Amino acid sequence: MRENPIRRDWRQSAVFSERPLGTSDFTVGGARRQLVGAGRILGSRRGMSLVEVMVVIAIILTLMGILTWGIFQVFSDSQVDTTKLQMTRVAERVEIYSLRKKLPTNSDGLREVFGEDVPKDSWGNDFVYVTPGPNGKPFDLISLGADGQEGGSGNDEDIKYSEVH
């Protein structure tokens, strides 16, 4: 018995390659297709769509924004802490100076103690020297904060040595 050439099985005309279980590539009529799972045939897909790329970029930018905000918060907090430490060192130097000589007056200020190398706060502003200080203290040091002006809130808030120590 002769086989009818028109009635051929599709498996005889397809060229298969070995793939992981559940998928296989084959060629039918010159077009490459992929057989997936329960017999669905899908075209080969390369790359990502524009929407997918935009979603990924949006997620990355959101994470970068959160991270940047956190880094700047830590940096601004460290500037306040550094200014407080610097104030302590300046106050100790003024106290040692006042034991050897007299306490500098408001007009003399910190130049009498430090000469030309008067330390500055973390924002590059001069410390304000006030004598007599509040609550019976001999002197007070004030940092005017990031804005360099009296008052303010947050990073711009004034830092007073009398309130810190």
DSSP notation for 78-138? HHHHHHHHHHHHHHHHHHHHHHHSPPPPTTTTTHHHHTT---B-TTSPBPEEESS-GGG-S
Report the pLDDT value the prediction gives residue 15, as an integer from 0 to 100.
Answer: 52
Give me the phi and psi of 132, to 5 degrees please: -75, 160
pLDDT at position 158 is 86
Q: Please state, in angstroms and rounded to a whole number, the distance separating the CA atoms of residues 44 and 34.
A: 7
- Would you call 63 helix, strand, or coil by DSSP? helix
In this prediction, residue 87 has a pLDDT band, given cuts at 50, 70 and 90, of: very high
**Count, residues in the chain:** 165
The superfamily CATH assigns to domain 78-164 is Glycoprotein, Type 4 Pilin (3.30.700.10)
Please tell me the number of Cα atoms within 13 Å of 91 on its side-chain side.
21
Q: What pLDDT, on the 0 to 100 scale, is given for residue 29? A: 57
The pLDDT tens digits of the residues spanning 109-135 come to 888 888 888 888 889 888 989 988 888
More confident residue, 74 or 19: 74
Of residues 122 and 57, more confidently modeled = 57
Q: What is the pLDDT of residue 118?
A: 87
Reduced DSSP (H G I as helix, E B as strand, rest coil) percent helix, strand, coil of the chain, to 5: 40, 15, 40
pLDDT at 40: 47
> 152 or 102, which is more confident?
102
- pLDDT for res 78: 87
Where in the chain are the domains? 10-42, 78-164
Q: How many CA atoms lie within 13 A of 31 on its CB side?
A: 8
Which one has a higher pLDDT value, 53 or 44?
Answer: 53
51 has a pLDDT exceeding 70:
yes
How far are the Cα atoms of 7, 12, 13, 54, 121 from residue 2, in angstroms, in the given order? 12, 17, 19, 60, 101
Task: Say which range, 63-67, 106-110, 152-156, has the weakest mean pLDDT.
Answer: 152-156
